[in-house]
A = this chain, B = another copy of it.
């Protein structure tokens, strides 16, 4: 089976279908996530795994301005199958690089059978890691918790928080530990940095992303109003 080829007719994320080419999904979701403040200043990103291939947005570029042709394609061993910086094009080709998040995305594919992983720096993720100084973010008795697979309204949703480090790739060991230690989480928070969120495919990853961001924001606002999000 060969990897996806992007098509040019998708102009808005609401036109995406489950089966849309992965490059188009990545490009349109990044535009949406830029508007939402989840990716900005070249930070944040998204990756999809489908049919034995892994698709990754390039690093260090404005995430809302990526062309479908600029998405890296890797096989499941991490070998680059399509390198956008070496493509032939009539237009100038930007020297895009593979993301330093790459090994972190791979962790979720390997240990949790994820179909898509996203990385956000949204303000609510930063603040959520400050109001929970211990190693876990916790929230309970909020309806939206149901939106995370395996959770109900009465569940206490727990998200592990790992410490940040100078280089993103050095998060690998502590993130791997968290991913293995918390089999019910679909997110890992990074203190004073952001969050990694995944799902079984890009649609579940999108649902999870919306729900987790809502819950991080809810926890901060509850705290400001004098309520403890972790108890009922």
Q: Chain A: residues with CB nearer than 8 A to chain B?
A: 13-19, 31, 40-43, 62, 64-65, 91-92, 94, 121, 123, 126-127, 130-131, 141-144, 146-147, 152-154, 164-166, 190, 192-194, 203, 206-208, 210-211, 214, 217-218, 220-225, 227
Contact = CB atoms under 8 A, between A and B. Distances in A.
Given A62-B207, A64-B14, A123 B224 contact: no
B43 A206 contact: no
Contact of A224 (B154, B166, B192, B225): B225
Contact of A130 (B131, B214, B227): B227
A130 B40 contact: no
A164 B143 contact: yes
Instruction: Count identical subunits in the complex.
Output: 4
Given A207-B62, A224-B224, A142 B126 contact: yes
Contacts of A207: 41-42, 62
A141 B129 CA distance: 12
Contact of A94 (B18, B153, B208): B18
A62 B203 contact: yes
Given A41-B144, A94-B18, A217-B123, A225 B130 contact: yes
Given A41-B210, A43-B143, 9 more contacts: A40-B214, A41-B208, A62-B206, A121-B143, A127-B221, A143-B190, A153-B193, A223-B225, A224-B224
Given A40-B210, A143-B194, A147-B42, A131 B62 contact: no
Contacts of A16: 65
